[in-house]
Amino acid sequence: MDANIRATAGLAENILGREMQSEVTTIDPAEVAKFEAMAAEWWDPDGKFKPLHMLNPCRLDYISSQIAAEFGRDLAQPAPFSGLRLLDIGCGGGLLSEPMARLGALVVGADAAGGNIPVARLHAETQGLAIDYRHTTAETIADAGERFDIVLNMEVVEHVADPQAFLATCSNLLKPGGLMICSTINRNAKSFMMAIIGAEWVMRWLPKGTHDWARFITPDELCALIRNAGLAPKDKKGFVFDPIGWRWSLSDRDLSVNYVTSSVRQ
């Protein structure tokens, strides 16, 4: 991103950040600050969000197939998600919001890091996409009484102050029968080696300190949190990186590092 976009992001942080001060949320200000510092690089495939650009096709494959199966949509048809209201929590620069909008969903992209929103809005405008981007929190949207068919909660839960309260809010944001798709990172020795030492220290795909291993959540722990939030887990798969083919793929068995779940509000 150029200097003008960085300036816009900084202005939004100063203006919009004041609106967040009085809200009661599960956000962790220190975690938000990490992503504020990288906001201008969201659409640089070789920048600090290179891992997400690499993972995105795999994420989109899972998300699209789960939505299509749950709502009986044919992905071969134009705008198959037409009429479905979707909330992308922690939307960042819009790497997931934009393809969901292209598939016809009515997308709200929300992020607690205000600097992300101008970047996301500008990029969506250049693509001719109408996406409702907001500098806000899940709690604020839920308190306003808004409800969605789908909530995308991707790589967010390991950054919040209270995962159980956050997932309960995500559940409240869903209509009855609504679908939540949630991804995070497992907590074990392998995930420390891959997600922190490998991705942050060796490959330098992310700045050091982006992730805190102690905040990682095992699949069993996440499923318990999801159930406690009033959701029924339906599916879980691993995102597995192949260093030889240099690509990500979905796995039914390997959830040892990155993984994703889908669940439905009962």
Structure tokens at 237: 């798969």
Calpha distance 96→107 (Å, rounded): 10
CATH number at residue 162: 3.40.50.150
Angle (nearest 5°) at CA 55 between 210 and 178: 95
Average pLDDT along the chain: 88
Closest-CA residue to 80 (of 97, 99, 94): 99
Q: Is the pLDDT of residue 5 over 80?
A: no
Calpha distance 172→231 (Å, rounded): 10
Question: What's the confidence (pLDDT) of residue 250?
Answer: 98
Of 3-17, 97-111, 234-248, minimum mean pLDDT range:
3-17
Question: What's the confidence (pLDDT) of residue 203?
Answer: 66
Q: Are 115 and 17 within 8 A, CB to CB?
A: no
Angle between helices 3-20 and 116-126 (to 10 degrees): 130
Helix ranges (DSSP H) in the chain: 3-20, 29-36, 50-71, 97-102, 116-126, 138-143, 163-172, 189-191, 219-228
Q: Is the pLDDT of residue 6 over 80?
A: no
Position 214, amino acid: A
Mean pLDDT, residues 34-63 taken together: 84
Structure tokens at 51: 């891992």
Q: Are 53 and 206 within 8 A, CB to CB?
A: no
Count of the separate structural domains present in the chain:
1
Q: Are 239 and 59 within 8 A, CB to CB?
A: yes
Q: Is the pLDDT of residue 1 over 50?
A: no
Angle (nearest 5°) at CA 93 between 87 and 99: 60
Positions of E strands within 217-266: 231-242, 247-251, 258-265
pLDDT digits (tens, 9 = 90+) for 120-169: 999 999 999 999 999 999 999 999 999 999 999 999 999 999 999 999 99
pLDDT digits (tens, 9 = 90+) for 167-211: 999 999 999 999 999 999 999 999 888 788 877 776 666 667 777
Residue span of the structural domain in which 258 resides? 3-265
Question: What's the confidence (pLDDT) of residue 187?
Answer: 96
- In percent, the amount of the chain with pLDDT more than 90 equals 69
Q: Are 251 and 238 within 8 A, CB to CB?
A: yes
Mean pLDDT, residues 101-105 taken together: 98
Structure tokens at 244: 């030889």
Region class of 239: left (phi > 0), else alpha (psi between -120 and 50), else beta: beta
pTM: 0.83
Q: Are 53 and 95 within 8 A, CB to CB?
A: yes
Question: What's the confidence (pLDDT) of residue 36?
Answer: 66
